[in-house]
Amino acid sequence: MLEKVSDRVAVRSILILSAVVVGFLVWFIYGRQTSGYADHAFVETLPLVNCSLNALTTVFVVIGLLCISKRKLRAHSACMILATASSALFLLCYLLYHYFHGDTKFPGQGLIRPVYFFILITHIITSIAVVPLIFTTLFFAASKRFQNHKAVARWTYPVWLYVSVTGILVYLILKQYTTITA
Ligand code: HEM
């Protein structure tokens, strides 16, 4: 059935869906009050859970790329679907953390400050860009348009790796300078 959807309609629908997802995230993260349960033990474990999910995504994307370079198509497909699932789970846990805890202010001074904000800002920008890239790459795979799949995937995987690795870095830097406990 997906084979019948034209590229134009698919890309337009994916852009609209991505705008809805990103719009919801921006509203959820920046447009509302937090709940005030920041000290709950469950909330305190979420930063480590989020960092681990980013690490898992990184591993699945790298293994998925190794698989396709050896023409192991089923393993490639499975790894990329697992990478998508761990990214989606990360997003859910990230939203939960934001719901209960809100923003974590960065107190570090000196050279680490511009370094941290460079990583954070580029992480945020690329995490927005990766949403339509992942949807489009998956759509072209699911509709068996593998030439298009390859063309988009060459952008998707480096951006995706950048997002997940910088997610880990943000956690590690914050852990050095703040009281996140996990
Ligand atoms: C967003 C997730 C995905 C990413 C980032 C991704 C990435 C890639 C990349 C980079 C290549 C090109 C390798 C090369 O240069 O030869 C590729 C090829 C391929 N991918 Fe994926 N992939 C994803 C999901 C999937 C899924 C779910 C399937 C399941 C059908 C799949 C099936 C294939 C196939 C069959 C090829 C080989 C195409 C050909 O050589 O003609 N991919 N993928």
Question: pLDDT tens digits, residue range 167-176?
Answer: 999 999 999 9
* Total number of domains in the chain: 1
Residues spanned by the domain of 140: 2-177
- Domain membership of residue 20 (yes or no) is yes
- Domain membership of residue 160 (yes or no) is yes
Binned at pLDDT 50, 70 and 90, residue 38 comes out as low
Q: Which pLDDT score, from 0 to 100, does residue 40 have?
A: 76
CATH number of the domain that residue 15 is part of: 1.20.120
Alpha carbon nearest to ligand 1 atom 28, residue: 77
- Domain membership of residue 182 (yes or no) is no
Q: Ligand 1: does its nearest atom lie under 6 Å from the Cβ of 75? A: no
87 has a pLDDT exceeding 70: yes
From the list 94, 57, 97, 100, the residue with the least C-alpha distance to 79 is: 57
Q: What is the mean pLDDT of residues 152-164?
A: 98
Q: Ligand 1: does its nearest atom lie under 6 Å from the Cβ of 101? A: no
User: How far apart are the C-alpha atoms of 18 and 162, rounded to whole Å?
Assistant: 19
Q: What is the mean pLDDT of residues 85-101?
A: 92
Q: Ligand 1: does its nearest atom lie under 6 Å from the Cβ of 32? A: no
Ligand 1: nearest atom to the Cα of 147: 41
Q: What is the mean pLDDT of residues 103-128?
A: 94
Q: What is the mean pLDDT of residues 40-69?
A: 94
